[in-house]
Amino acid sequence: MIAIIDYGMGNLRSVQKGFEKVGHNAVVTSDPETIMGASHVVLPGVGAFLDCMRNLEEKGLLDIVPKVINSGRPFLGICLGLQLLFTESEEFGIHKGLDIIKGRVVRFDFSALSPQPSALKVPHVGWNTVAVKKRPPALEGIDEGAYFYFVHSYYVVPEDEKVVATTTAYGVEFASSIWKDNLFATQFHPEKSQEKGLRILKNFGDITG
């Protein structure tokens, strides 16, 4: 069973429906016992970084994410669920994250680009390609240059570039997904990315051990 962590923010039902479409049973839950008993765990997220961290704490889920990851079970972070894994975010001040992946979450800033590209807006919304740097099980069958759907104003900057699975170009080349052991997380939304996104969800659900 796949547990989708419900901390009051994110497109939880759309993620659940995505898994159902590819034949995997997924439940939306904020119950720590259910999450710890699941074979796979997903941390989605939409909204402000600080609000999400507060919600995780208020629901007693702040320690659940590192426990799940340390247990070795397949873990998937989506959008803000990727950013929360990092040491800190600069969104509306400097705020501590879960510090599972060393690094920062920073805002797109195109002011230093000359000439400034008027086509680049913040937030970054829409379809964009990914360049594959290394291929975790979740990216099996995903072509180089495949398109995925993004909605974000901030992106992650890992201290260790070895965790970067894919990059995407939007004014800068940023890490659009990361992979470390049993942890895989994306800045893009697989559940909104049609065939390729559903392939990632299926791949993730198919991971054993």
DSSP calls for 53-108: HHHHHHTT-TTHHHHHHHTT--EEEETHHHHTTEEEE-TTS-EE---SEEEEEEE-
Q: How confident is the model at residue 209 (pLDDT cuts 50, 70, 90)?
A: low
Q: How confident is the model at residue 19 (pLDDT cuts 50, 70, 90)?
A: very high
Average pLDDT over residues 147-159: 97
Per the annotation, the verdict on 152 as an active-site residue is no
Q: Which residue among the candidates 79, 91, 124, 152 is catalytic per the annotation?
A: 79
User: Each residue of 86-122: pLDDT tens digit?
Assistant: 999 999 899 999 999 999 999 999 887 766 666 788 9
On whether the 2-206 domain is CATH 3.40.30.10, my answer is no
Average pLDDT, the chain: 94
Domain ranges of the chain: 2-206
Q: How confident is the model at residue 154 (pLDDT cuts 50, 70, 90)?
A: very high
Per the annotation, the verdict on 24 as an active-site residue is no
Taking the C-alpha atoms of residue 126 and residue 133, their distance in angstroms, rounded to an integer, is: 22
Residue 68 scores a pLDDT above 70: yes
Q: What is the pTM of this model?
A: 0.95
C-beta separation of 167 from 173 below 8 A:
yes
Q: Which residue among the candidates 24, 124, 152, 189 is catalytic per the annotation?
A: 189
Q: Which residue among the candidates 40, 52, 152, 191 is catalytic per the annotation?
A: 191
Per the annotation, the verdict on 124 as an active-site residue is no
Residue 45 scores a pLDDT above 90: no
